[in-house]
Amino acid sequence: MSHAFIDKLLKDFDVPKRKILIIENSKNITGALKSITRSSYDLNQYFDFSFIIPQSSNGKFWIINKGFANIIELPMKELRKDIWSVITYLPYLLVNSVRLKRIVKKNNIDILHVNDVYNLLPVAIRIFGNSTPYVCHFRFLPDRFPSILLAIWMKLHLRFASSVIAVSEKVKEQLPSHPKIIVIPNELPIEERYPNVTLKRENSSRYFLYLSNFIPGKGQNFAVEAFYRIHKLIPGWKLRLVGGDMGLEKNKKYRMELVELAESRGIVDLIEWSDFVEDVELEYKSADVVLNFSESESFSITCLEAQFFGRPLIATDSGGPGEIIEHQVTGMLVPNRSVEEMSRVMLELVGDEKLRIRLAETARSTVREKFSVQKTSYRLKAVYEKVLI
């Protein structure tokens, strides 16, 4: 049933869409933002979505490009591990909770959806007397965060939220056992602009693609080391690193450390460095092999996208990737932090074009079934509908 038909049906019977307000805390285009806009796009025929984002967010154009115009900006603060963040978080939370109550009332919001568990805005307005139901997403592996803070977050959300959504079984198994916690995987990309096409760059080089923001722990350092070990055996191949630093000093420092590592290994000229790109499909389809050597992944948008766009993939068995990839069938899994295995499997795929093609083709068909809209976004739809009863 098409979006247009459903919209016409609702209009003919004068049935207004229920209103859902997404609260996104990050100022950058993250996997979490990609996921929530994709699910909102899939469900836009059923619900009226609007977004709250931080002021000066880089994600605003992303949301607009996905067709959502109702965007409200607030001066939000992310809770980080530095003392200034901790000091300023609570005052911003209190002020923004007052603003949120007004927004909810003015716009007749039916459900709040907070896009990560560390955002306590919906908790605050519930404490202050607002009864609007909310759901929240748990999008990181719990063991990455201080146990005391995690315990506080979970106690509050399990007390006030209607549902807590974990993005993988790996996330859920690290959380308390509770009937409110369910698993809904992330969604497939909204569209494929270049179907059944493999794109090549102007030069004749072959490429390993590493598409991830430059964040310590995301694994680009392992990719550089693994590529260094094999680069003399694979002339004509390069490593391409694509991602942003999110404006954070620690990420900028990490990227500089990667450049210094490449220089010390004498391979800096064999590595391409790129900032964030919007057309990720073009990046994937211009690559010969996609890498993701993250030390910790709750899900992995990169792995999902690489398979959706039909690229051979090597990833660490570091959480979510193990639930996305069937080893040696839809991709290759390597042990976490094992540069030796990373370089061995990279060399194996370089030398076996038939294996690369088989992995890519199997991944492309399998992922579209395994993470279909019925198994992802429509399960979120069911959560919304249950909350609205």
pLDDT band of residue 126 (cuts 50, 70, 90) is: very high
Q: What is the DSSP string of 282-343?
A: HHHHT-SEEEE--S-BSS-HHHHHHHHTT--EEEE-SBTHHHH--BTTTBEEE-TT-HHHHH
Q: What pLDDT, on a 0 to 100 scale, did the predictor assign at position 118? A: 87
Q: What are phi and psi of 256, to 5 degrees?
A: -65, -35
Judge whether residue 6 has pLDDT over 60: no
The tokens describing 288, both together, are 């010969």
Q: What pLDDT, on a 0 to 100 scale, did the predictor assign at position 338? A: 98
pLDDT band of residue 89 (cuts 50, 70, 90) is: confident
* Amino acid in position 315: A
> What average pLDDT does the structure give for the chain?
92
pLDDT tens digits, residue range 316-375? 999 999 999 999 999 999 999 999 999 999 999 999 999 999 999 999 999 999 999 999
Report the side by side order of strands in the sheet with 181-183.
71-74, 47-54, 18-23, 111-114, 134-138, 163-166, 181-183
Average pLDDT score over residue span 368-386: 97
Planar angle of CA 303, 336, 144, nearest 5 degrees: 85
pLDDT tens digits, residue range 149-166? 889 999 999 999 999 999
Q: Are 174 and 143 in contact (CB under 8 A)?
A: yes
Report the side by side order of strands in the sheet with 289-292.
271-274, 237-242, 206-211, 289-292, 313-316, 332-334
Closest alpha carbon to 96 in 113, 64, 69, 72: 72
Q: What pLDDT, on a 0 to 100 scale, did the predictor assign at position 315? A: 98
Q: What pLDDT, on a 0 to 100 scale, did the predictor assign at position 288? A: 95
Whole-model pTM: value is 0.91
Average pLDDT score over residue span 273-277: 93
Q: What pLDDT, on a 0 to 100 scale, did the predictor assign at position 146? A: 83
pLDDT tens digits, residue range 201-247? 666 689 999 999 999 999 999 999 999 999 999 999 999 999 999 88
Q: What pLDDT, on a 0 to 100 scale, did the predictor assign at position 7? A: 52
Q: For the chain, which domains are there?
A: 3-187+372-388 (3.40.50.2000), 206-370 (3.40.50.2000)
> To the nearest whole percent, how much of the chain has pLDDT over 70?
93
Q: Are 244 and 210 in contact (CB under 8 A)?
A: no
Average pLDDT score over residue span 193-208: 75
